[in-house]
Amino acid sequence: MATPAEFLNYIDSNKDAFFARLRDAVAIPSVSGDPARRDDVLRMGDYLESQLKAYGVETKRAELGEQVSEGKTLKLPPLVLGRIGNDPGKKTILIYGHFDVQPAAKSDGWNTEPFELTHDSKSGRLYGRGSTDDKGPILGWVNVLQAHHELQKPLPVNMRFCFEGMEESGSEGLDDMIYAEVKKGKDSWFHGVDAVCISDNYWLNTRTPCLTYGLRGIAYYKLHISGPGADLHSGAFGRMVHEPMTDLIHLMGKLVDTDGRILVPGVDDMVAPPNEEEKAIYNKLDYSIEDVEESVGAPIALSSDKAAVLMGRMRSSSLSLHGIEGAFYGVGAKTVIPATVCGKFSIRLVPPQTPENVTPLVQRYLDEEFKKLGSKNKMSCEYYHGGRPWVEDYKHWNYQAAHRATQAIYKQDPDYTREGGSIPVTLTFAEALGVNVLLIPMGRSDDGAHSTNEKLDVSNYLEGTKLLGSYLYEVQALTKA
């Protein structure tokens, strides 16, 4: 184990200071989605910057300009960039995190005031908005900096920081800023970065730490069918004309099977079956069918084979039918023949799928199937938006370091997970910097990010802080050889 006991002891001895830090941060309601809270987001950025400075980090604000929201012009919260260490004998690690949070109000069903950190010593939990998403993790890094500063120990790696205040609101301006910063070459605050580390997701369960090496992409589609000039009455026109809803339902029914199989030819086929090594990863994951069914609230898992179900989320594409615009959606009964309807569906993507290579398959297939219907209505399938999937090389030293750190702190091997959703900045860093990106969560699956009664377990906060520090030492140990 490469991590000095001195550092670990410091964390144990100063937990009250760390709680106080998280309390101060949670008390700032930095809700990026609420224009009335924009000043709090800016204040939270200031707070974070002052903490970094206090522990010897050189900082800079990267202004992102303005945003127009509900007719008001609002200043976008600047990125807080930081750098510490320039030792050419050490690796340089870029840390990303976000200091804005989701909205929260006691009246939503919180048991405590959402913007007052509540330490429930019985359950060992810290309740509060942002506790786990993402203030706990970013303050974990600050705790690591404090420890080294107070102990007057040099950090085992050079560190760079990129903290954002608009993550919960679409990360406006972030990607452009990252690409612009990278372009500066030697003058870039990202210059020389060897790997990226992000702590902004969760364990697969409540028991086992994990490392996350993949995220699905997405391609969102709108399937338009139009016929009559206006809505018709089914009494007057039923069985006289081609009804757009009939065509739409038929086409949507040709996209995906009840068992989740994507029926668009070629889409599922793009994905190679798992090799033995990969299969072993899924079989090893500490997650059961019962876990799935408990989290969805019904016994509706697609299979009784745990690995198959987990692969469904992590290494398979999926196609979900979200709904229909233009049809009758109210309670009660209406005998309308809707004139124009639009089916919404999306495909979650895994490599080598991309919106660019999947979209032509979807559109060609729907064209063919629509032709087969023999309808006189008009059909078009619009690609609406999307993003590429990301899968990382989990044998890279960046992951090995995190693996060893997990063993050192948690005394167990981490799960290796891929997430079904997307964290777009991951792909941006991977593409803009061309380096390995590691996702190393601090919190558990039941933390309730974005939900009421968001929490972070005390043990996750403190052991998580140790984990982050230990990871840096393992990077050093693995790469100095």
Beta bridge partners of 418: 214
Token reading at 238: 């039923």
Q: Which of 472, 442, 446 is nearest to 458 (CA)?
A: 442
Number of residues that make up the chain: 481
Token reading at 420: 């079904």
Q: Which of 28, 24, 51, 60 is nearest to 41 (CA)?
A: 28
Site membership for Zn ion, residue 447 (CB under 5 A): no
* 22-39 burial: b if 16+ Cβ within 10 Å, else e: bbebbbbbbbbbeeebbe
List the interface residues with Zn ion, window 168-207 (CB under 5 A).
200
Of 55 and 370, nearer to a copy of itself (C-beta) is 370
Decide if 100 is catalytic.
yes
Q: Which helix (H) or strand (E) holds 295?
A: helix 289-296
Which partner in a copy of itself, Zn ion, none is near 104 (CB below 5 to 8 A by kind)? none
Q: How far is the CB of 97 from Zn ion (least distance, A)?
A: 8
Q: How far is the CB of 281 from a copy of itself (least distance, A)?
A: 17
Give the interface segment with Zn ion, choosing from 55-63, 133-141, 254-262, 393-401 (CB under 5 A): 133-141
Collapsed DSSP state (helix, strand, coil) of residue 277? helix
List the interface residues with Zn ion, window 202-231 (CB under 5 A).
none
- How far is 281 from 416, CA to CA, in rounded Å? 7
Which partner in Zn ion, a copy of itself, none is near 353 (CB below 5 to 8 A by kind)? none
Decide if 392 is catalytic.
no
Residue with tokens 């019962």: 290
Which partner in Zn ion, a copy of itself, none is near 388 (CB below 5 to 8 A by kind)? none
Q: How far is the CB of 158 from Zn ion (least distance, A)?
A: 25
Which partner in a copy of itself, Zn ion, none is near 200 (CB below 5 to 8 A by kind)? Zn ion
Give the other-Cβ count within 10 Å of 308's Cβ: 14
- How far is 90 from 124, CA to CA, in rounded Å? 37
Q: How far is the CB of 74 from Zn ion (least distance, A)?
A: 20
Of 77 and 156, nearer to Zn ion (C-beta) is 77
Which partner in Zn ion, a copy of itself, none is near 134 (CB below 5 to 8 A by kind)? Zn ion
- How far is 8 from 147, CA to CA, in rounded Å? 9
Half-sphere exposure of 348 (CA within 13 A, CB side): 23
User: From the list 134, 181, 194, 247, which residue makes contact with Zn ion (rule: CB under 5 A)?
Assistant: 134
Q: Active-site residue among 164, 167, 291, 454?
A: 167
Q: How far is the CB of 247 from a copy of itself (least distance, A)?
A: 6
The set of residues, in sequence order, having a beta carbon less than 8 Å from that of 243 and lying 6+ positions away, is 227, 337, 377
Which partner in a copy of itself, Zn ion, none is near 250 (CB below 5 to 8 A by kind)? a copy of itself
Q: Are 133 and 450 in contact (CB under 8 A)?
A: yes
Q: Active-site residue among 100, 172, 243, 457?
A: 100
Q: How far is the CB of 423 from Zn ion (least distance, A)?
A: 8
Which partner in Zn ion, a copy of itself, none is near 375 (CB below 5 to 8 A by kind)? a copy of itself
Q: How far is the CB of 129 from a copy of itself (least distance, A)?
A: 19
Q: From residue 449, give the alpha-carbon distance in Å to each of 130, 132, 173, 215, 256.
A: 8, 7, 23, 18, 30
Q: List residues with catalytic annotation.
A: 100, 167
Residues of the shown chain interacting with Zn ion in the complex, contacts defined by CB under 5 A: 133-134, 200
